[in-house]
Every structure is written in C-alpha cells, then in structure tokens.
A and B are shown apart, each in its own frame.
Chain A
Amino acid sequence: MSANKESWGSRVGLILAMAGNAVGLGNFLRFPVQAVQNGGGAFIIPYLVCFLVMGIPLLWIEWSMGRFGGKFGHHSTPFIVDTMHRNRLWKYIGVFGIWTNIAVASYYCYLESWTLSYVFHSIGGTFAGLDQNGVSAFFNEYVSLGESTFGIPYEPIVFFVICLLLNTWILSQGLAKGVERVAKIGMPLLILFGIFLAYKGFTITAGENGAINDSSVGLNFLWTPNFDELWSPSVWLAAAGQIFFTLSVGMGTIHCYASYVRSKDDIALNAMSAGWMNEFVEVVLGAAILIPISIGYLGVDGVTELVNSQGGLGLGFRTLPYLFYQWGDVLGAVAGVMWFGLLFFAGITSSLAMGTPWIGFLQDEFNWRRKPAAWSFGLIVLLLGMPTVLFFKYGVFDEYDYWAGTVSLVVFALFESILFAWVFGMNKGWREITSGADIKVPNFYKFIIKFITPLLLLWVFIGSLITPKGGDWTGALSNGWELDDSSIINKIKNSSLKRQLAEATDPEVIQQLQDTLFFVNASRTLLVAVFLSIALLVYIAYKKRVREGRI
C-alpha cells in the first residue's frame, strides 16, 4: 500500500501552486530577452500562437495524464504513463519526469540561492555607492566563490545550502501545509512586487534620476513589431522554446500536482487559469521591468550590447541593482528587495514542484514517508548541485541547463503527446480532459492535440537537432546544410569548444578550455548516470509491484 495519502487544501491553492510551478525566473529574465532578439512585438504573435496550439494542449494533456494516473495511486510519471499503455518501455520514458526535475533543481536551487543572497545584500546596502562595473564585479566575485562583503566564507555555498534546507523543509511539510501554503503567500507577493516594479518601468522620465530615456523608448524597443522576423523559422523555434520554459511542460511536475486531483474534479478550467496566470506574469509584468528600466538608464545600444554579451541573467544580476540606486538609497534598496524577492518567490515555487515527483515516487513505490523522502531529495540535489557551484566557470551549470532544462523537456513532451493522442487514444484522452470540466473545451482542440501539437513538437525537436548555421534555414536549404554550434548534434560533438581550442594560442586559455571540455563531458556522464540510476529504481519498483501482485 502506498504511504501517499496527500491532497490539496483548496482549489485556489492548487491553481496558485500550479501557476507558481510555471512562473519562474525565466518569466522575468528570459522572456524579455527572447522578445528583443526575435522581432520585438512581432515575437508575441508566434509566442501566443505556440501558447494556443502547443502550450494549452500540453497543459491539458499533462493535467489529465496526472489525474488519470492518480486514480491508480501513481504520483510520478514512470507509473503514470505505465497506466496508459501496456508496453513496458513507457515507464522508462517516464523516467524523464523524475530525472529532469532532480537535474534542473540541482542548478536551479543554486540560481535561487543567488536571489536570496541578493535580497540580503540589497537590505544590507551592498550595492549602494557601487557603479555599474562595481555591481558586475560583485557578481563575478560571488560566482567565483571569492571574498564576501558579509564576511561569510564561501557565501554562495552557504546560501545554496540554506536554500536547499528551506526547500526540503517545506516539502517535508506536505502538499497542503507546505507547497500550497508557500504558493498562497509567494504568488500574491510576487505579483505585488512585479506590479510595483512594472509601474516604475512604465514611468521612467528622461532627465529624472539620471535617466536618459523615457520608458516609452524601452517599451517601443521591446514591443515594436519587426514583421520581417515573423517568417523566420528561428523566431518560431524561439517562441516554441519559450513556451516550454515558461509553462514548465515536459517536466513531470504538472502530472505530479494533478495526480492529487480526484477524477470527478475539474482540470480543464484549472489548467487554463494557471496557464493564463503565468502568461500575465510573463507578458505583462516580465516585459515591463528588465528591458524598459535598463534602456531608461543605459540606452538602446548599451542594453543591446549587454543583452548580447550577458543575456537576461547578467542584466538582472549585474546591472539592475545599480540602476535601482538611481532612485535614491532607500528606494534603491526597496526595489532591490522587491526584484530579487520576486525572483526568489518565482524560483522557490518552481523548485518545490521539482521535488514532488521524486517524493511521490518513493512514497508510492517504496512506502517512504513524506519527511525522509523530502530529505532524500534535498541530499541528492545537494550532491548533484555542488558541481554547478564549484565548477560554475567551467560551464557545468550551463551543461545541466542545456540537457536537463532544455532538450529533455522537448523529448519528454514529444513522447507524451504521442502517447496521449495516438497510443492511449484521442477519444479516451478527450474524455479525460473534459471529465468534470467547469468550462466547455472547444472541440477543435481534439484536432490540435492529435495532429498539430505532436507535429509542432517534432518540428521543435528536429529544428533543435539540426539547427543550421546562424539560424539561416533558407540559406541552408540552398547552399548546403552546415550545423550551428547551438544544434544538439554539434553540442554533443563539442564543436564550439573544440574549435576554440584549435584557434587558441595563449597557454592559459588553452588550459581553461581543456578544463572546460573535461567538466562538460564529466557533467554529461554524471547526468546519464543519474538517469540510469532512476531507471534502475523504476525497474526495481516494477519487479516489486509484480511480486506484490499490484500490476
């Protein structure tokens, strides 16, 4: 018998937890940068289309798969997918739904710990009086485990451990008393902080507090549509990719949360409510903070350069703390607390979701109690996360992010969409989606889920596998297909690193690149080993079920 007798405390709590799972740091740091790099206002068209034909269908698929598996007492993807078809291999595809979460949590909790640390540094006035280079240098010093202004030795590790302890303790309190309670506090605060910062982003005036542009310049830069980009497959690929990151689909967390919903209760409206809440945070709040504030003070050229060199993460941590202090010491500190506070809430509501599939798996299959299962998650994430902290400069963090946080989502989503629509069957699938629904689900979604969503996912996967050089699809078709370094195939071959090594002449640079190559390969080996270990556990659990006559 499973030790898992949990349930959600309330429907609003479930929706806030699901929205919190979806809302992450990417809503504020990734989305605006993607929009700027992919046609500004025109990006929103493919983005919303992908949300309608891929995001919403995947939400419904995952919610209904989760609720379906929950009927049989399963709360993690290996055995949820196992209930949907007899083929024994499906449960090993379901391993993705545990592995992705553990691997992503390992670097995501580290990122989350930065936000927690930066909240305290904002309160402590660390950034007051620093110029832009000073704030940027602080970040470099921080991630290199350098000297701490608080005098705490190995401060990033300390905050990482604090963050993990906090996550683990909350998870050990259970769904209703832990995860849901945090979502009920965190999500409203996140939206409140976001509205304040978005208001500031909307009201910057040139000449005031050192601003060189009105906020309209930044907003125009972000929102002015470049319709030429609309026909570029790279832009569509970027839009589809953003939908994955933002909705946390293809991870296994939605399945797990939904598995605690009873079969007669609604999922169709719940999924829409949580999904659109995420879109609000991303499109309305996320677009109104990072880029408009940065451009208000640094200008379009300055921000373009920073976006290209540092990305959203760099802009959020290296630049914004400095810009906030243009509003004065007190407001600068308050804005810093709000910015990193909202990022922290965005992060923790997602990382908590990442813990639940592993905990559900141990409870269901090995009769573990919630508390030891939660602490085992904390320990695994600590062990797997330490390489991202210690060897950050060698690209371990990025490697985890690429394979677990990017490629794996697409692979699992592709498999689950095929399983749901073609193997489990669209008629049964449709009944699952509409059973207990509090809204009328449009019938054309039957067609979309069966044909459009899997095809789009296949296209996203193939597009990522063989991305042509510079994203020039037309050129690649006519002039021969040269792979881009960002393509999965060239990533596996380490093409970029090997080329840099071949071109390098400075012995110090060569050493750094060789070390990076070693750590990149070691990270991959470690991730594969973790995947195989979970697959082995699934096999053991399956054999245990057979012995006990539960399958």
Chain B
Amino acid sequence: MLSTIILVTGLMSYFFYRVLNAPPKPEPDSYLDNDDEIERQAPRA
C-alpha cells in the first residue's frame, strides 16, 4: 500500500514539477498569459 501511494504521489509531483519548470515556448503559444501584449507592439507616441 505504502509503496503504491509513494510511487503515485511521487510521479504526480515529478510531472507537475516538470510542467512548472519547463521553459516557455516562443510566442505565440497556446496560452493567453504568455502571449504578446497588444500595447507592447503599439507604435510609440
């Protein structure tokens, strides 16, 4: 029981950690949070 619980919890934590620490892909990507901001590309006044 204990070995299964440790294995499953460990693998879940490992993969989630890998997601959190994966380098972001060059934009535009699939996610709004990481996308270009419109203001950034607006011509300077």
Contact = CB atoms under 8 A, between A and B. Distances in A.
A264 B27 CA distance: 10
A279 B19 CA distance: 17
> Interface size class for chain B?
20 to 34
A265 B19 contact: no
Contact of B1 (A223, A265, A272): A223
A280 B25 contact: no
A273 interface: yes
Interface string B8-20: 1101100110111
Interface stretch (A11-19, A24-32, A494-502): A11-19
A304 interface: no
Given A9-B32, A44-B4, A284-B8, A276 B15 contact: yes
Nearest to A274: B15
A44 B3 CA distance: 11
Contacts of B12: 273, 276-277, 279-280
A436 interface: yes
Interface in A256-275: 260-262, 264-266, 269-270, 272-273
B17 to A, nearest CB: 9
Contacts of A279: 8, 11-12
A269 B18 contact: yes
A264 B23 CA distance: 13
B45 interface: no
A41 B5 CA distance: 12
Contacts of B16: 15, 273, 276-277
A477 B30 CA distance: 53
Interface in A345-387: none
A264 B9 CA distance: 29
A67 to B, nearest CB: 9
A279 B6 CA distance: 12
A439 B12 CA distance: 14
Nearest to A275: B15
A27 to B, nearest CB: 12
A252 B13 CA distance: 27
A531 B27 CA distance: 40
Nearest to B21: A438
Interface in A213-268: 219, 223, 260-262, 264-266
Contacts of B18: 269, 273, 438-439
B32 A280 contact: no
Given A266-B22, A273-B19, A280-B8, A8 B1 contact: no
Contact of B19 (A7, A15, A44): A15
A48 B5 CA distance: 12
Contacts of A280: 8-9, 12
Given A280-B8, A280-B12, A8 B19 contact: no
B36 interface: no
A261 B9 CA distance: 27
A265 B29 contact: yes
A11 B1 contact: no
Contacts of B26: 264
A280 B19 CA distance: 16
A283 interface: yes
Given A9-B32, A10-B33, A269 B19 contact: yes
Interface in A285-341: none
A276 B12 CA distance: 5
B4 A7 contact: no
A176 interface: yes
Nearest to A280: B12
Contacts of A260: 30
A261 B18 CA distance: 18
A260 B18 CA distance: 21
B28 interface: yes
B9 to A, nearest CB: 6
A261 B34 CA distance: 13
Interface string A421-437: 00000000000000010
Contacts of B32: 7-10, 176
Given A272-B15, A273-B19, A277-B16, A9 B25 contact: no
B42 to A, nearest CB: 21
B8 A283 contact: yes
Nearest to A70: B30
Contact of A284 (B5, B22, B25, B30): B5
21 contacts: A10-B33, A11-B30, A13-B31, A15-B19, A44-B4, A176-B32, A260-B30, A262-B28, A265-B29, A266-B22, A269-B19, A270-B19, A272-B15, A273-B12, A273-B19, A276-B8, A279-B12, A280-B8, A283-B5, A284-B5, A438-B19
Given A176-B32, A261-B30, A262-B28, 12 more contacts: A9-B31, A11-B19, A48-B4, A223-B4, A264-B25, A269-B19, A273-B18, A276-B8, A277-B12, A279-B11, A279-B12, A284-B8
